[in-house]
Structure 1
Amino acid sequence: MTKLVVKDNALIQASYTLDTVEQRLVLLAISEARETGRGITENSLLEVHASSYINTFNVEKHTAYTVLRDASKSLFDRYVTYHDVNPKTGKDRSFHCRWVDKIGYEPQSGTVFLRFTQDIVPLITRLEENFTKYELEQVSRLTSSYAIRLYELLIQWRSVGKTPVFDIAIFRQQLGVEPEQYKTMSNFKTYVLDFALNQVNELTDITAKYEQHKKGRSISGFSFSFKQKKEQKKTIATKQSNAQALCLKMTNKQRHLFASKLSRLPEMSNYSRGTEDYDEFAVRIVEMLTDPKIFETLLPNLQKVGFKAA
C-alpha cells in the first residue's frame, strides 16, 4: 500500500515538538485525505481510523485505540513555528500557529476527527516545486519522533543526495528537541542524532551519514550525505508491477463482486462521499478498481474481503 505525504518545505524546515503518535496521526490525516481525492481545506473535518493506524504502523488494536485517544487530546495544544520572508520588506519573519483548531475522538470505532488550522492547510496542500513528497511507508516503522523528523529534513535534498550545513541551534529545534533536553553534545549525539540516524538507515529507503562542522573547538552544525538503497528501488518497482498485473487480470465480474463487499468495509469509509448508499458506493468502487494505482492502494482491503493475489 502506497500512501503519499506532501508537505511544504517551509513546514518541514519548521520547528515543532510532536511525539511519535502525534506525528503519525498528522501524516495519516494528510495521506488519507489525498487518497480520497477530496483533498484538505480549512473546513475539512478529516478522519483517521484506528484500523488504518493498525495496518500502517503494525500495532495491536488496544494499543492503537489508547494512543489515538491520548493523541486526540494532546495534539490540540501543539503548535508549530515556521519561517518565511515578508514580501513587502524582504525580511525574515517567524510565525507560531496551532496544528489543529478542532479535534475529537469516537471511542467505539477508535476514530479521530480533526481539522487543520487555516495557516497549516496551505503548507500541506499546495502542489508546487518546493514541496517534498514521500511515501508514508518509509516512516511507518520508525519509532523515534526524531527519526521521522530527520528523514523529512533529509529527503528535501533527495535530488542532490546531500544537505547544506544545519546550524546546531536550528537543527535541534527542527528535530523537536526541547531547550532543556540533551544540552551536552555527547548526549545530543547519543540519544538524538545517532539514534535517529540508525533508525533511518535501518528502516527507510535511504542510507545517510553526517559530517560535523566546527567553529573553534565547538561543533556548530551538521551536514548529511545520503543515497537511495538499490534493493528498495527494486522492491517498490516489483510491488507496483505486481499490483498492475493483478489489476489487469481482475475480470469485470470480480470487480462487481468485491466492490459490493468493499462498500460495506469500515476501512473504506474514507472513500465514501457520505451521501451515497452501499450500492451507489459499490458502483464507484468498480471504477476505482480499474485504476492500477488505486488498485494497489486498495489491495490490503481487497484481501480482507477474500481476494487472493495468486
Structure 2
Amino acid sequence: MKRFSLVGMVRKSSVETLLDMHNLSITKSNYLIEARYKLPVQAQKLILACLGKIDPRHEIPKEITMTGSEFSELMGIDIKNSHRELYKAADKLYQSDILIYENGEEIELSWVQEKAKKLKGEAAVRLVWSDRVLRYISQIRGNFTSYKLRNIAELQSSHSIRIYELLMRFADTGDREIFLDDFKSILGISNKYPEFKVLNRDVIKLAVKELNQRSNLVINCTPIKRGRTVEKLRFDFKQNNQLKMDI
C-alpha cells in the first residue's frame, strides 16, 4: 500500500494531487472503530487527514503537523475557510474524550495530550497524540480496519463518517447487525432520540442517503424488532468504486 508525505503537496499540479489522494489510506484499530465518542465533522476529518499522512506499520511520532492547504485538499474544505476550520477542529479535539472497551475493560482517554499549537504564520496546527491513542494507530499488526480516505472526504455529517467505519469493519461480508443501544452509544447520542422514528428520520436515513450519494458504499438499513420495539439495525451494503456525484 503506497504512502507518502504530504509536505509540498500544495506545489503539485491538481492532477498529481488527485492521484496522491487516491492512494491515501486510513487504518485504525478496531477498538478505535468501535469506541464511544462524539466529535463535530471537521474534527473527525482532522483526525482522518492526519491518519492519512502516516503509515501504521511503523512507529508514529507523537507530533504531527497539518496545514490549512492539506486539510482543504484532503477533505474537500473550501480553501478560503480551511485554516479557520482547522483551528476550530484542533480545539475540539483537545476538549473531547474517547471511551474504549478492550478485553472487558473500559478505558477513557484523550485524543491529544495538549492543546494544539497554532502555527498562524503557516496556517497550520501541530497536534501531540496522547500516549494511549498512539496504541490504536501505530504499529498495528492485527484487528484493524483500513479504507481509502477519498471514500469519506466529501461526507458532511459526523454520523455518516462513523457509520461508514462501522460498516467497513465488516467489508468482507457486506452486512452488519448492531444493537440499537450500541449504535447510539458509539455515535455519542445515547441520551437523544428516545423515539426510534425520530432517530430513523434525523440520523439513520440522512446518513444512509449521504453515504449512498457521496461514498463508495451502497447501503440498505433494516430495523429488527423484538415484539413492537426496535432492538437492532441490520445494514446490508456493497462497495461501488465508481466515483459518485455530489448531489
Q: With the length of structure 2 as denominator, give the TM-score of the two structures.
A: 0.84
> Distance in 1 between the 2:201 and 2:102 partners?
32
Cα deviation for residue 230 of structure 1 reads 5.5
Give per-residue Cα distances to partners, 1:92-144, cap 9 Å, x unaligned.
22111111112221122221110111111111123323110111111000000
Matched, 1:149 2:170: no
Partner of 2:90: 72
Aligned to 1:231, what secondary structure does the other structure show? coil
> Distance in 2 between the 1:8 and 1:58 partners?
25
Matched, 1:133 2:146: yes
> Distance in 2 between the 1:8 and 1:104 partners?
26
Partner of 1:33: 54
> Distance in 2 between the 1:214 and 1:93 partners?
30
Query: Unaligned regions of 5+ residues in structure 2, if any?
Result: 1-20
- Which of 106, 113, 133 does residue 101 from structure 1 map onto? 113
Q: CA RMSD in A?
A: 1.8
Matched, 1:231 2:242: yes
- Which of 103, 122, 129 does residue 116 from structure 1 map onto? 129
Aligned to 2:221, what secondary structure does the other structure show? strand
Query: Unaligned regions of 5+ residues in structure 1, if any?
Result: 86-91, 233-310
1:33–1:39 contact (8 Å) kept in structure 2: no
> Distance in 2 between the 1:129 and 1:99 partners?
21
Partner of 2:11: none
User: Counterparts of 1:1-310 in structure 2 under 5 Å?
Assistant: 1=21, 2-34=23-55, 39-41=59-61, 44-85=62-103, 92-102=104-114, 103-163=116-176, 165-179=177-191, 181-229=192-240, 231=242
User: Considering only CA atoms, is the larger Rg found in Structure 1 or Structure 2?
Assistant: 1
1:8–1:126 contact (8 Å) kept in structure 2: no
Moved beyond 4 Å, runs of 4+: none
Cα deviation for residue 182 of structure 1 reads 2.4
AA of the residue aligned to 2:139: R
> Distance in 2 between the 1:76 and 1:203 partners?
29
AA of the residue aligned to 1:40: I
Pick closer, same or farther for the CA change 1:47–1:178 going to 2, 3 Å.
farther
Q: Which moved more, 1:101-110 or 1:144-153?
A: 101-110
Cα deviation for residue 59 of structure 1 reads 2.4
Larger % of helix: which? Answer: 1
Aligned to 2:175, what secondary structure does the other structure show? coil
AA of the residue aligned to 2:31: A
2:159–2:203 contact (8 Å) kept in structure 1: yes
Aligned to 1:119, what secondary structure does the other structure show? helix
1:104–1:112 contact (8 Å) kept in structure 2: yes
Give per-residue Cα distances to partners, 1:229-280, cap 9 Å, x unaligned.
1635xxxxxxxxxxxxxxxxxxxxxxxxxxxxxxxxxxxxxxxxxxxxxxxx
2:59–2:139 contact (8 Å) kept in structure 1: no
Percent identity reads 23
Pick closer, same or farther for the CA change 1:203–1:26 going to 2, 3 Å.
same
